[in-house]
Amino acid sequence: MPATSNLRATQTARPSSPHTPQQQLRSGNTSFASTTSPGSSLRNEDDAIIIEIGARWLRAGFEGSGTPVCVMGFGPEESRRVGDYRGWIQSAAGIGPLPKPVDAEDWVRDYELWQPDLRKVDLGLMEDKIERVLRETYNQYLLTDAGSSRLVLALPSLMPHPLLSSLLSTLFSRWRFPSITLLPSATMSAIAAGLRSALVVDLGWAETTVTGLYEYREITTKRSTRAMKSLQQMMGRLLSSPASGEDQDATREDGISVGFTYCEEVLTRFAWCKPQAEDGEQADQPAHTVSIPSPTCPEQEFYDVPFSRLADPVETVLFASGIAESELDDEEKSIPLLVHSALQALPPDARGTCMSRIVFVGGGARILGLRERILKEVSSLIQRHGWSSVRGRVVERQRQRLEELRISSPASGQKLPTSNNAESSAEGEKLDPSQEVPEIDFVEQKLRRQNKDTPVPVQGVLRQVESLGAWAGASLVTSLKMRGMVEIEREKFLQNGLAGATRDSEPSIPDRRSGLRAGERSSWTLASWA
C-alpha cells in the first residue's frame, strides 16, 4: 500500500483536453524569430509588407525574403463568387474552345487590371478587384491584419495619375495603413541585380519600357506598345487558324476562337525566338513539328504544328519583321530599335556604363533566345549607324560614295578626310618621332597608381546581367530600414490626394547636427511618378 500511494503521488495530472501552453507559445527565441529563412514562418511584427502590382499579377510577401509568399492574378477565375460554377466549364475557364470567335481586345479585357488607355478602364471595378485580391492575400497567405504593418508598393514610374490615385484611395479608405512607401520597379530590378547603374528592359504586358539608370536615378525612359499583350493576341490568332496554315487571314479577321488560358500555356511553353546569322539575316532552321493539345478537345486529341511557326508571333510583334524602320511610329518601335534609341538618349559616360549592364525583366524575358537576339541586333545597329540619330537614304548614299572613294584611294595615292584615314593619320603621328609628344596628365597617372588594385569596371561592351526582379529588390531595400523618397502619410493624402504632393527634383539632405532633413516640408513628393 505505501508503494502504491507513492506511485500515485508521483503521477502528474493530465488535462481533460489537448491544449498548447500559452506562455511557452509566446516566449520564443527572439533571435530566431527575427530571421527570414525560407523554412521558418516566424517573423517580427514590425516587418513591412512588400507588394508589387502590375497589370496582370500581384506579388506579396515580407521584407527580407528572397521570393514573395504568393502571386495573385486578376482573371475571371479569381473573381468568381460562392455558387458560381462557371470555372468548371472549359470555355469559361479559358481552356476549351469558345462558342464563337471574339475580338482580340475583348478576349484579354477580363484578364488585366488596367490598360494604358484610361478611356476604356472602369476605375470603380479596378478598385473592387484590388480590394478583393488584397483581402485574400492577407487572409490566406500573409495571415496578418491589414494595416498593422508598414506597406511598401513597387510600381512602374510611368503609371498614370488616375490609376495611382485610385490605388492609394482604396488602400487608405478601406484599411488603416499609417503610411505607404512607393518604390520604382525599374530601380528595384537593378538593385536586385546588384547594380547601381543599368539599362532595365521591361517586357511587360501592355507595353515594353527601357529605363536608363545612373546611380539609382532614372535618366531616360523609352516605351513601345510591342509587348506581351500583342504577342498573346497574335498567338491566339495563330492557334485559331487551321493546323495546315490555310485561310489564316480570314481567321484573323473573324477573331480568336481558343481559350485565353490555353493560349497562354502554349505561349509560355513553346514560344521561341529565331537566332540571327552573322550577316544580319535569319538562319535557316530545320523542319520540326511539335504535338500540342487540340483547342477543341485538350484532354484527348493532339495535332502537329511546325516548330518554326511558333516563332512567327515573336518575329512579327517584338521585332516588326517585314516593316521598314521609317514606317514605324515612335510608340511602336521594335525592341532592338527601342534599346538603341534609349542608349542614344544617354550621356556618353552613362551610356558606356549602362550598355554593359542590361537587365531584362518581365514575362517576355523568359522567351527562349529573345535576349541574345536583341543584343545581336542592337550590336548590328551600333555598327551600322553608330550613335548618330541622322539616318535616311541621303546619308546612306553619302556613306557608300565615301566607301567607294576610300577603296579607290590607294591606287591614285590620294588621302581622304574619312574617319579611317583620320585614325591612320593619328597612328602615323604617334609613330613619327619628329611630331610633338602629347602632354602627360600627371593627375591621371597618380590616380591610376593609387587605384591599381581596384578592378576596372566593364564599360562600352554590350552585356546582360541577371536580376531577381523588382519584388526582391524592394524587399532588400526595405530590410535596410532606409527611408524612401515617396512616403505618403494617411492624413495628408485623405485631405488633398495627389494634389498635396510637391515636385522635389533633388532628395533632401539630412542635417548631422539636428538629425533633421534640410528643406523638409510638411507635404510629400511623388518623385519619379510626378
Domain check: are 118 and 213 in the same one? no
Domain check: are 211 and 350 in the same one? yes
* Order of all β-strands in the sheet with 217-224: 217-224, 208-214, 198-203, 358-361
Of 423, 449, 466, the position where a domain reaches its end is 466
Q: What angle do CA 128, 174, 147 make, to 5 degrees?
A: 125
Domain check: are 68 and 169 in the same one? yes
In a domain, 299, yes or no: yes
- β strands within 34-157, DSSP E: 49-53, 57-62, 70-73, 151-155
Domain check: are 239 and 293 in the same one? yes
Q: Which stretch of DSSP H or E encloses residue 223?
A: strand 217-224
460 CB neighbour count, 10 Å cutoff? 11
In a domain, 429, yes or no: no
Of 466, 490, 512, the position where a domain reaches its end is 466
- The total number of residues shown for the chain amounts to 530
In a domain, 514, yes or no: yes
Domain check: are 70 and 155 in the same one? yes
In a domain, 373, yes or no: yes
Cell of 32: 530566431
Q: Write down the H helix ranges in 311-369.
A: 312-317, 335-345, 348-354
Domain check: are 337 and 295 in the same one? no
Domain check: are 221 and 361 in the same one? yes
Q: How far apart are CA 153 and CA 172, in angstroms?
A: 13
522 CB neighbour count, 10 Å cutoff? 8
Cell of 147: 494595416
Cell of 358: 542590361
Pairing mode, strands 179-184 and 486-489: antiparallel
Phi-psi region of 454 (alpha: psi -120 to 50; beta: other; left: phi over 0): beta
Instruction: For residue 521, give the CATH number of its domain.
Output: 3.30.420.40
Predicted pLDDT of residue 118: 87
Q: Which amino acid is at 261?
A: T
Of 296, 317, 338, the position where a domain reaches its end is 317
252 CB neighbour count, 10 Å cutoff? 17
In a domain, 9, yes or no: no
Domain of residue 303 covers: 228-317
Domain check: are 174 and 64 in the same one? yes
Predicted pLDDT of residue 41: 47
Q: How far apart are CA 89 and CA 95, in angstroms?
A: 9
Q: At which residue does the C-alpha cell 542592337 appear?
A: 378
In a domain, 494, yes or no: yes
Cell of 127: 478598385
Q: How far apart are CA 346 and CA 210, in angstroms?
A: 12
Q: Which stretch of DSSP H or E encloses residue 219?
A: strand 217-224
Domain check: are 292 and 173 in the same one? no
Predicted pLDDT of residue 138: 93
What is the chain's pLDDT, residue by residue, as a tens digit (530 residues)? 444 444 344 444 444 444 444 433 333 333 333 344 444 445 566 789 999 999 999 999 999 999 999 999 998 877 776 676 666 665 555 666 777 888 989 899 989 999 888 888 899 999 999 999 999 999 999 988 887 788 999 999 989 899 999 999 999 999 989 889 999 999 999 999 999 999 999 999 999 999 999 999 999 999 999 999 999 999 999 988 754 444 444 445 568 988 898 899 999 999 999 997 655 556 566 678 888 887 766 566 788 888 999 999 999 999 998 888 888 888 899 999 999 999 999 999 999 999 999 999 999 999 999 999 999 999 999 998 888 888 778 878 888 888 888 887 665 455 545 444 434 444 444 444 445 556 777 777 787 777 777 777 888 899 999 999 999 999 999 999 877 789 998 888 988 888 878 765 455 544 444 333 444 445 678 888 87
Predicted pLDDT of residue 397: 85
- 274 touches 285 (CB < 8 A): yes
In a domain, 346, yes or no: yes
Q: What are phi and psi of 372, to 5 degrees?
A: -65, -40
Domain check: are 174 and 218 in the same one? no
Predicted pLDDT of residue 369: 93
In a domain, 233, yes or no: yes
Q: At which residue does the C-alpha cell 537587365 appear?
A: 359
Q: Coil, strand, or helix at residue 116? A: coil
- 231 touches 363 (CB < 8 A): no
Domain check: are 217 and 294 in the same one? no
Domain check: are 69 and 158 in the same one? yes
Q: How many domains are contained in the chain?
A: 3
Predicted pLDDT of residue 436: 53
Q: How far apart are CA 286 and CA 329, in angstroms?
A: 34
